[in-house]
Amino acid sequence: AGRTRTARTRTSRSSHGAGPERTVVVRPGDTLWAIAARTYAGDVREGVWRLEQRNSLASATIVPGQHLVVPGG
pLDDT of residue 14: 37
pLDDT of residue 55: 97
11 bridge partner residues: 22
Strand order of the β-sheet with 67-70 is 9-13, 20-25, 67-70
pLDDT of residue 54: 96
pLDDT of residue 4: 44
Q: Is this structure's pTM higher than 0.85?
A: no
**Are 27 and 8 in contact, with CB atoms under 8 Å apart?**
no
pLDDT in tens, 11-65: 444 344 456 899 999 999 999 999 999 998 889 999 999 999 999 999 889 999 9
Phi first, then psi: give them for residue 53, nearest 5 degrees.
-65, -50
CB count in 10 Å sphere of residue 68: 20
